[in-house]
Amino acid sequence: MTSAIKFEHVKKSFADKVVVNDLNLDIQQGELFVLVGNSGSGKTTSIKMINRLEDPNGGRVLVNQRPTTEYNVQKLRWQIGYVLQQIALFPNMTVAKNITLIPEIQGDKGNLAETAAKLLQEVGLNPEEYAKRYPHELSGGEQQRIGILRAIASKPPIVLMDEPFSALDPLSRANLQSLVVDLHKQLHNTIIFVTHDMNEALRLADRIAIMKDGQLLQVDQPQEILRHPANKYVKDFFKGSLGNDLYETPLRQAALFNEFKQKETATLASMTKVKADEKLAKVLAILSEQEEVAVQNENGAFLGFVDRQWLVAYLNGINKLN
């Protein structure tokens, strides 16, 4: 795969405080990559060095194999969408104008009203109802949808998202997480998403990087981090995610991941069902005849599903350890 963003021995200090210390990280084109860590871990400073809101004191950051310091700052930022927790829509502009601001600045000669209408439809907002509204007429979740659309309207190959949903209610947050996944599948862009929320990281990421005190502790796929945490800090950091019973069974763990593939409850109900504590041998027998099974908790509620591919990968991982 081709590298979209690369950190090579990057260091960043403010006065005498080291915020990022010898960061080496390679993010591939088309990844939905999540940086996770507590406050002060260095994750926000790290992504600010991608679009040169900050520059490193040492090492270098590369975008598309080219050091960021070789880019014209404005042209670099035009390649990179940016979504913040503080949505910062322009209050005197309509929704449509907010969405198409960057393409207009860049001299896009296309039909910008049509662009705004199409994007609004993609996020479930009726253009006839929303295009002419102003930001103060929107809910927090709606404003953040517009913020996301503004960031992707010019089709930048890279989008940075810095804790964009942390101020929202749980329902709005879950809906927007699904929206990010759906848009990523459509656009095939590279997304770097910063959060301190373990559940959010697990829902979204192709790969996760965990930072602490400016240092990178582990980078891997979500399931691998949960199964093989690099150290006690990583294990404890994710231990409370997706329910305290996450570590009880690998079946429960996998089902909770796959919940976010957005299968309808009716679809799950029509599938063969197994309990989360079912023996893997029985699940293997079922999956030898069909592609996937629905997983339920002890109360019969659907957790999600697992498929043949997951079980084979899991068993291969077990064999490698033995």
Q: What is the chain's percent helix, strand, coil content, to nearest 5?
A: 40, 25, 35
What does pTM read for this prediction?
0.75
Token representation of residue 1: 């795969």
DSSP 71: S
pLDDT digits (tens, 9 = 90+) for 145-157: 999 999 999 999 9
Beta-bridged to residue 207, according to DSSP, are 33
User: Which comes out higher in pLDDT, residue 47 or 306?
Assistant: 47
pLDDT digits (tens, 9 = 90+) for 276-300: 777 777 787 888 888 888 888 777 7
Percent of the chain with pLDDT over 70: 88
pLDDT at 319: 41
Instruction: Check pLDDT > 60 for residue 260.
Output: no
pLDDT at 255: 63
User: Which comes out higher in pLDDT, residue 214 or 250?
Assistant: 214
Instruction: Check pLDDT > 60 for residue 232.
Output: yes
**CB-hemisphere CA count at 13 Å for 97?**
10
Picking from 54-58, 230-234, 271-275, which range would have the lowest pLDDT averaged per residue? 271-275
Mean pLDDT value of segment 79-88:
86
Average pLDDT of the chain?
A: 85
pLDDT at 251: 66
Contacts for 82 with CB less than 8 Å, ≥ 6 apart: 51, 151, 159, 160, 162
CB atoms within 10 A of CB 12: 22
